[in-house]
């Protein structure tokens, strides 16, 4: 599947589940667009978007379009080289696998329950991270 980058990841995860496609259950509850999820390699509870990302259509800071395969993009835990390059994710090609709807819903429920147990139920600012003193950014 190739969702446009502006599509919300939760809505896309629901649409994929209805189609019997599995692979993005771990990001189903992350408040992000698909493009944002790719840019930061969003993930949770043992899965991340780069697990299923095949390629992306990008727009450079200079406005030049381009395509890159996922393996060509340096990435790690909640980080990709796209953050430094400033490239904009326009489209993502994801390799999802066929699975029974019940299995997809079960995994989505599992992730949702873990998230509910780990996060406050009242309105909050979400995750906030502070770099340790002395951190050098390139």
**pLDDT (tens place) for every residue of the chain, 138 residues total:** 667 888 988 899 999 999 999 999 988 888 899 999 999 999 988 889 999 999 999 999 999 999 999 999 999 989 999 999 999 999 999 999 999 999 999 999 998 888 777 777 777 666 666 666 776 654
9-108: which CATH number, 2.40.30.10, 3.30.465.10, 3.40.50.300, 3.40.50.2300? 3.30.465.10
User: Which pLDDT score is estimated for 114?
Assistant: 85
Cα–Cα distance, 80 to 74 (Å, whole number): 6
Whether pTM > 0.85 for this model: the answer is no
Please list, in sequence order, all residues whose beta carbon lies within 8 angstroms of the beta carbon of residue 30, skipping any fewer than 6 positions away. 9, 10, 37, 42, 43, 44
User: Which pLDDT score is estimated for 29?
Assistant: 83
Residue 78, judged by CB atoms within 10 A of its CB (0-12, 13-18, 19+), counts as: middle
């Amino acid at each position: 599947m190739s969702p446009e980058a502006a599509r919300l990841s939760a809505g896309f995860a629901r649409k994929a589940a209805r189609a019997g496609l599995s692979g993005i259950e771990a990001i189903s509850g992350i408040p992000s667009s698909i493009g944002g999820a790719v840019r930061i390699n969003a993930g949770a509870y043992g899965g991340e978007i780069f697990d299923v990302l095949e390629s992306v259509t990008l727009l450079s800071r200079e406005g030049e379009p381009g395509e890159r395969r996922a393996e060509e993009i340096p990435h790690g835990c909640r980080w990709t080289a796209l953050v430094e390059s400033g490239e904009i994710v326009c489209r993502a090609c994801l390799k999802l696998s066929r699975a029974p709807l019940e299995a997809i819903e079960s995994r989505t429920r599992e992730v949702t329950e873990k998230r509910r147990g780990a996060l406050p139920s009242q309105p909050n600012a979400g995750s906030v991270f502070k770099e340790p003193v002395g951190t050098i950014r390139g």
